[in-house]
Amino acid sequence: MKISSTSEPLRPDRLLPTANEARTAAAKAGETVAETEKVQLSDLATRLSKLENRFGGDFDAKKVNEVKTALAEGRFTVNADAVAQGLIASVAELLGKKA
């Protein structure tokens, strides 16, 4: 048997049944499914969601274009120390520790 690799990652929406599919399957089995289902997120998921809300969303399109132009022209420099400190701080925050 040959197992081929794929570059496409697994997507939960392709692996798990949707709410409608679950209701249909339950109805066929003679079970009832509530219209509203409750989901409880883990502590890590809650913290990740807060981080996404804090850092996600709006971005400065002008700044993005400036960086893109600097990259194309070869004049963009990376401050490795600042990047490392930022990574350490974000990991510490995710782990619930102060950096």
24-82: pLDDT as tens digits: 776 677 666 566 677 788 888 888 888 887 776 677 889 989 999 999 999 999 999 99
Residue type, 40: Q
Residue pointed to by tokens 């490392």: 84
Q: How far apart are CA 56 and CA 27, in angstroms?
A: 39
pLDDT classification of 98: cutoffs 50, 70, 90? low
Q: Is the pTM of this model over 0.75?
A: no
